[in-house]
Amino acid sequence: MNQSQRLIEIKKILAKKKELQTKEIAAHFNISFDTARRDVLRLTSTGQAVRVHGGIMAITASQVPAYITRSHIQSPVKNKMAQAAKKFFLPGKFYFLGVSTSIAQMCNLINGIDASVLTNSLDNALALMQSNFPTVSILAGQVNKTNRFIYSPQALEELNNVHFETAFVGASKINSDGLYVADQRDAVTTGRAISRADKTILFAEKYKFTTRNSSPYKTASLNDIDILITDTVLPQEYRQWLDPHTQVIHVLEV
């Protein structure tokens, strides 16, 4: 059985079990651990699964993993998306960084750049502690311990009084009429930040266009998005949801 045939079978098993260890794959197909590891890397690097400690986890159309789970996923795709976004983070500018595991990865790449950041994400702030730059401010308010963001009415007032070069944001679901998240407070905060930015960059893998997860709170219209950073080429069905002027960057080779 060649790799292409194994990958088809691995995805079938993964659809049932949701998570697989690399050693399980090796035993099931009677192959070496190194060969199984190459199969795992092939699936994760092409966005067909996500890497977790010791193996892989399925991403289904019906759910998006919780933030704390996603933050422990070792995803080469997210790292490539973060690398693509880094070039839009320039010295001397003021940026909003929203709640997103991909944005948290980007924060590890922008340490040392002399810019200013305002964020509602604990993980973004912690990731930016490695250097004196960029300078980091955190919105005031109560901490949501599940998704690790901060919210308060005062934070919304603070956003009314600032202007961003760019807002970097994420979403847990994309519909034809906009981007959605699971928490209303996160939606309100991120939507306000988008309204105060000259440019908005959205991180969203292709599966977020098809997921049926419960993310009922709209953050913004897709017409508000200037740049979409995604994993693979979007089918025309989803591409036409975007404004014709929206730049789409996909980080995986076709």
How does pLDDT run across 77-133, given as a tens digit for each residue? Answer: 888 999 999 999 999 999 999 999 899 999 999 999 999 999 999 999 999 998 999
User: Do the domains 3-58 and 76-250 sit in the same CATH topology, yes or no?
Assistant: no
More confident residue, 65 or 191: 191
Q: Which residues contact 126 (CB under 8 A, 6 or more apart)?
A: none
pTM: 0.75
Pairing of strands 50-52, 55-57: antiparallel
CA distance to 9, 47, 230, per residue, from 83 (Å): 32, 16, 12
Length of the chain in residues, anyone?
A: 254
Give first-to-last CA distance, the chain, whole Å. 24
**pLDDT > 70: what percent of the chain?**
91
Does the pLDDT at position 164 exceed 80?
yes
CATH 3.40.50.1360 describes domain 76-250: yes
Give the CA radius of gyration of the chain.
19
Q: What pLDDT sits at residue 60?
A: 57
Does the pLDDT at position 46 exceed 70?
no
Q: What are the structural domain ranges in the chain?
A: 3-58, 76-250
Report residue 254 CA to chain centroid gap: 20
CATH code matching the domain that covers 3-58, chosen among 3.30.360.10, 1.10.10.10, 1.10.3720.10, 3.30.750.210:
1.10.10.10
